[in-house]
Structure formats: structure tokens, C-alpha cells
Amino acid sequence: MPIENAPTLDTHASDAGAADAIVAGGIWQVHALGNRRTIKALSKQVADLKDAPRTWDLSQVASIDHIGAQLFWNAWGKKRPADLILAPRQEELFKRVEESSKATAPRKAERINFVMKLGVLILSFFEHMRGFIKLIGQVVQDIGRFLRHPVSGPWREISANIYHAGFQALGVTALVGFLIGIVLSYLSAQQLRMFGGDMYLVNILGMSVIRELGPLLAAILVAGRSGSSITAQLGVMRVTEELDAMLVMGISHGYRLIMPKVLALAISMPLLVVWTDSMALIGGMISAKLELGLSARYFIQKLPDAVPLANYSIGLLKGCVFGILIALVSCHFGLRIKPNTESLGVGTTTSVVTAITVVILADAVFAIIFNGVGF
């Protein structure tokens, strides 16, 4: 079905008779130009006529938009014909099209080479280290203020964080510890049975759980659970401008938000380590009973002799240090979140990954420092 006021191009003899005039008519707008086939046909028709020494008369066009003007401009080779007749309202449109065609596309940024990327990463690392050390100093100052004025301290915030980070994590740490104890005991029992060393299962299980696996498992679970929660909480407060409102009211971020979380995790983590150790040992005890026939009574009697008391102290110390590191890392990335949702997601993910990495690095440092203790 033909379109009413369809775009047309007609050739008419000029008044002088020396050359023909190309007269455009109809509506040259996007809805009238139709589909891609129509635009392609009109572009070809205009391009075939552009080289002839003719006058272009667009004053008879009923209406034209940027799409129609751009079609003419591209077919003309992005330059005005020598003789062009435009209506006054069309002059401004073609002027904008001409100016936009002169604008050059921005140069493609040079590819950053490996050395530049490495430099950016190193600078970012030191910038994070500077902020982290500054955060530690702020927490130390806030703890000193808290010790000087304990009555006015943030006791409710500390207790609330102990409840969320400690008590509510008992379920998942018990389940994971119990299953890890079963798996470790079962695999160790299979190897010990080959050499007739069934009685040494208590030594292997006790040392590995109490000294290494218990604190590390509890820290990784808390970093993924409570660490992400802390970062997300501070990030949402940044997005909703609650942090700015606290500063306006004269409330310190460090004293009311960061220090309670650090103290809560420093208190909760050693208790979670004891809880995780107990669940792992119970799981190992059950697996030893089923796999090797070791009674629970023998297991409990042998455990204090197999694991010296120093290992319990090292495990509790690890738990306390891991808790402080998780809280500091989570707060560090939480305060750096920008007021947008994308930064919130990226910051939370980075916080969890960094907290787990820092915990594993700290565990390696403990292994080096206490390599001759507890054996």
C-alpha cells in the first residue's frame, strides 16, 4: 500500500533551460521512509543524481527530520551541492548535520601494557595498605577512649555484634566442623590401618583440628558470613547517606560502628574456635568408632596426652587475631563503597575474598612463628 506523501525525487527543467533541477517532495521523516529497503533505494537514487551539475531544490519538502537530512547528506558525499535551495526551517537542520559530520571520533586509547597494569596494581595495593593502617590507628584510639570511659561505651552495639557474628554462626560452624571431622578421621583411618597405626588417629585428628583446621574453618566461615554482612551494612549506610548523617550529628564512625565490630569478633572468634573444634572432634570420634572400632572413652582419654596444652592456646590466639583481621578488612572495604549499587556488590565480593586471603596468610605466619611450639 503506497504511503501518503511518500518521499519523491523529480527532475524538472530549470528556468534558464541550461540544466535540470532535482526537486524533492513529500515527507522525508523516519516513519515515511519506511524500512531499510526504502532508505537504501532512495539513497542510491540521490547518489546517482549528485554528480550531475543540477540544482537541488528541497524547499518543496513537506517535512524533514534528521534521518531524512542525513540520508541526503550521506548521498551527497557529506558536502553541500553547488546549488542547493532550502526552506528557512531546513537551513538550521542541515547546518547541524554538517557540523556533526565534521566532528572527529575520539582516538582509541592506547592499550595499557603489562608494566602499566602492574604499576596500577602496586599503587592500588599501597593505597589500600595506607587506608588499612589508618583504620587500625583509629580503632586503637577508639579502644583507648572506651577504656577511659567504659560507662558511656557502645555496649549495645558490641553485644548486638556478638549475637550476630557469634551466636548466629553456631549452626553453620557446628555442621561444617562435624563433617570435616568425619571426613578427616575416615581418610586418616584408611591410611593408618595399612600400617597398623590405628592408635595414632587421635594424635593426627587432635593436632590437625585443634591447631589448624578448627581456627581456619571458623575464620573462613565467619569471613564469608559475618564479613560480607559487615561490608554490606556499611555500604548500604553509604548509599542511603546514613554515614554522612552520623557525621553531621557528631557521631564517630569508628567509635559506634567499627570498634564494636572489631571487639565483638575478637570475643566471638575464640569461642567459635572452641565450638568448631568440639564438633570436629565429635565427628572424628564417631568416624573412628565406626571405621576402627576405637571407643569414645579411649578417644577422650588419649586426646589430652596427644595434644599438648600449648596447641589449645595457639588455636584460641589464632581465633582472636583472625576475628580482628576479618572485622578490619570488612570495615575497610565497607567504608570505601561508593554511593551506588554496583560498587556495593563489587565491594562486598572483594571484602570476602580479601578477608579469606588475609586469614590464610596470617595462618601461615602463625605456622612459621610457632613451628617449634606444642610438639
Structural domains of the chain, ranges and CATH numbers in brackets: 8-102 (3.30.750.24), 114-369 (no CATH)
Grid coordinates belonging to 344: 556495593
C-alpha span between 132 and 304 (Å, rounded): 40
* DSSP-derived secondary structure letter, 341: H
pLDDT at 105 over 60: no
C-alpha span between 208 and 219 (Å, rounded): 15
* Three-state DSSP class for residue 22: strand
Which is higher by pLDDT, 97 or 261? 261
Q: Binning pLDDT at 50, 70 and 90, where does residue 320 land?
A: very high
C-alpha span between 88 and 76 (Å, rounded): 20
pTM over 0.75: no
For residue 365, the surrounding DSSP H or E stretch is helix 341-369
Highest-confidence range of 11-15, 136-140, 208-212, by mean pLDDT? 136-140
Grid coordinates belonging to 291: 571405621
Contact 222, 247 (CB under 8 A): no
Which is higher by pLDDT, 162 or 62? 162
Torsion over CA: 347, 352, 353, 359 (sign): positive
pLDDT at 226 over 70: yes
Cα first-last separation, the chain: 94
Burial class (CB in 10 A: 0-12, 13-18, 19+), 133: exposed
Lowest mean pLDDT among 3-7, 136-140, 157-161: 3-7
Q: Which of 258, 260, 224, 256 is nearest to 348 (CA)?
A: 224
290-302: per-residue pLDDT in tens? 877 777 788 888 8
Please, which residues bridge with residue 28 across strands? Answer: 64
C-alpha span between 266 and 260 (Å, rounded): 10
C-alpha span between 50 and 313 (Å, rounded): 91
* pLDDT, mean of residues 260-264: 93
pLDDT at 313 over 70: yes
Lowest mean pLDDT among 3-7, 56-60, 118-122, 304-308: 3-7
Q: What are phi and psi of 62, to 5 degrees?
A: -65, -45
Please name the residue ranges forming H helices in 66-169.
66-75, 88-102, 114-148, 155-165
Provide the pLDDT for residue 18: 47
C-alpha span between 372 and 375 (Å, rounded): 7
* Three-state DSSP class for residue 63: strand
Please, which residues bridge with residue 55 across strands? Answer: 21
Where do we find the cell 560452624?
Answer: 173
Percent of the chain with pLDDT over 90: 25
Contact 312, 374 (CB under 8 A): no
Query: Which amino acid makes up residue 148?
Result: R
Q: Binning pLDDT at 50, 70 and 90, where does residue 3 land?
A: low
20-56: per-residue pLDDT in tens? 677 777 777 766 666 666 667 766 766 666 666 567 7
Query: Rounded to 5 degrees, what angle do the CA atoms 220, 226, 228 make?
Result: 90
Contact 315, 273 (CB under 8 A): yes
Query: What count of residues does the chain have?
Result: 375
Angstrom distances, CA of residue 160 to CA of 149, 174, 325: 20, 21, 19
C-alpha span between 193 and 287 (Å, rounded): 14
Grid coordinates belonging to 321: 587475631
**Residue 337 backbone zone (phi > 0: left; psi -120 to 50: alpha; other: beta):** beta
80-95: per-residue pLDDT in tens? 777 777 777 777 777 7
